[in-house]
Amino acid sequence: MTIRLTNVEEITQLNLKYRKKNKATNIISFPFNTFDFINNKLLGDIVMCPFIISQEAKKYKKNIVEHWAHITIHGYLHLLGFKHNSFNNRKIMEKLEIKIMKKLGYNNPYF
């Protein structure tokens, strides 16, 4: 898995190009669904925007470290194939995020 940090302009361009949404976002995940030469599965790439993540943490009065953990976990779950494109999928993904956050000693990100 690769994690890349970028600025608002680039994340907006990526969001438009790959998701057809002309706005900035906190994270975009790009799953990689092939095998490398030693037959290890590569998960993919995550592109994150520190400025937006920081602004979200302030806006929602969240601990910045916990918010970074949550957003990283969220992107990682996307690489594993989880989606939040329906009510049921969203609930499944949120439940996993909460469980992982708690295992890491962090609070429920949805409170």
CATH number of the domain residue 31 falls in? 3.40.390.30
- State how far the Cα of 58 lies from the Cα of 53, in Å rounded to an integer: 9
Q: What are 28's strand-pairing partners?
A: 47
Residue 50 located in a structural domain: yes
Q: Please report whether residue 108 resides in a domain.
A: no
Domain tally, the chain: 1
Query: Structural domain of residue 53, as residue ranges?
Result: 2-103
Residue-wise pLDDT for 12-22, tens only, equals 999 999 999 99
Residue bearing tokens 């996307």? 78
CB count in 10 Å sphere of residue 93: 18
Segment 19-30 mean pLDDT: 97
Whether residue 110 lies inside any domain: the answer is: no
41-88 residue pLDDT tens: 678 999 999 999 999 999 999 999 999 999 999 999 999 999 999 999
